[in-house]
Amino acid sequence: MKRYLIATCALLMISCNNEPSLQKYFVENTENKDFIALDVSPSILNLDQTKLSLEQKEAMKTFEKMNVLAFKANGSNKAEFATERAKVTKILKDEKYQQLMKFGSGKEGASVSFVGEDEHIDEFVLFANKEDAGFAVVRILGKDMNPTSIMTMMTALKNSNINLDQLKPLQEMLEKK
């Protein structure tokens, strides 16, 4: 019994990772008044399955959900904006996030990163920020995604009838001044 208790405690200590992660960051800021958090399911796309090619159907099977976390910058929260943006930037510098591309500079721009291996990607991360507007982090979660399947999904989205009800909180945040 004593060995079992010691082994359990050791496993718990090993599994309790205090390293920052994007998932922890999302959870910590979901209720923060300066953030808007959305979980978007594949059903938002309203795709007509009969109009999809076999490749598009296969690509869509790899997509599980999307998480969006956005911070709206304004005159009264510039310091918090800078702090929060630095936190996200630091998280994305972790070696598990492999950067695919970057646009603009560190103060204003966007980046696309992924978690996993080239042909077995579990997560794509889009991070966009603009000094006077704020920033958004989008996590596209799936199973065995790859860059080709993402591009195939994008072509399928051209034919989607997106259900905008799931995006109302984000739209309302953007409209507030």
Please give the average per-residue pLDDT across 67-83, as a whole number. 92
Reported confidence tier of residue 4, pLDDT bands at 50, 70, 90: very low
Is the pLDDT reported for residue 79 higher than 80? yes
Task: Let me know: does 97 contact 123? Beta carbons within 8 Å.
Answer: no
pLDDT higher than 50, residue 7: no
Nearest to 169 by CA among 68, 46, 32: 68
Q: Is the pTM of this model over 0.85?
A: no
The mean per-residue pLDDT over the stretch 28-55 comes to 85
Average pLDDT, the chain: 81
- In the predicted model, is pLDDT for residue 144 greater than 60? yes
Find, among 61, 64, 59, 67, the residue nearest to 27 by Cα: 67
Please report which confidence band the pLDDT of residue 11 belongs to, taking 50, 70 and 90 as the band edges. very low
Q: What is the pLDDT of residue 164?
A: 57
